[in-house]
Amino acid sequence: MFPSFNAFKPCRHGAMVSNPKDSYVGRSLDFCGEFSNGEVLLFEQVLRPGEIVVEVGSNVGAHTVPLAKAVGPTGRVFAFEPQRVLFQTICANLALNSITNVVATNAAAARRPDRWWCRRWTTRPRRITAGCPSARTPVGRTSKARSRRCRWSRWIR
């Protein structure tokens, strides 16, 4: 049997699955029921229904869900997450919240298609880290998401 590491939590912007042992996003969702809500408030002020957003480094979707709600059913969010387990978690969170206007991609993002080495996600006692051996990760093209309606992109390094 696989060890359990994710937990379900009703949060400010919807139901979320995350790892409460994660040092940042998961811990914040578990403790506060939100992650970096100041950014979400900014998104809600800037974005309009029907717009397109590119989110690079989506993690578990703590911002993807409110971004999708901000642009509404006529808008689109392109969410890129290169780490497989985090990508699977973002897909779970989108399904839990019945979000259908997000195109989630298990890839890094760049202007040109290529591949790069991404550290694999792993669990360690009391901490989540991406610090184990590298995995070759596909790179999605951000130019596919370009249009006049794309006014916002969020890049996480």
pLDDT at 142: 53
| For the chain, domain boundaries | 7-155
Which whole number is the average pLDDT over 8-33?
Answer: 91
Q: How confident is the model at residue 2 (pLDDT cuts 50, 70, 90)?
A: confident
Query: Residue 2 has what DSSP assignment?
Result: P
Query: Residue 106 has what DSSP assignment?
Result: S
Reported pTM: 0.77
Q: Which CATH fold would you assign to the domain 7-155? A: Rossmann fold (3.40.50)
pLDDT at 107: 85
Q: In sequence order, which ranges of the chain are alpha helices (DSSP H)?
A: 25-32, 37-46, 64-71, 84-96
Q: What is the pLDDT of residues 38-56, one digit of tens each?
A: 999 999 999 999 999 999 8
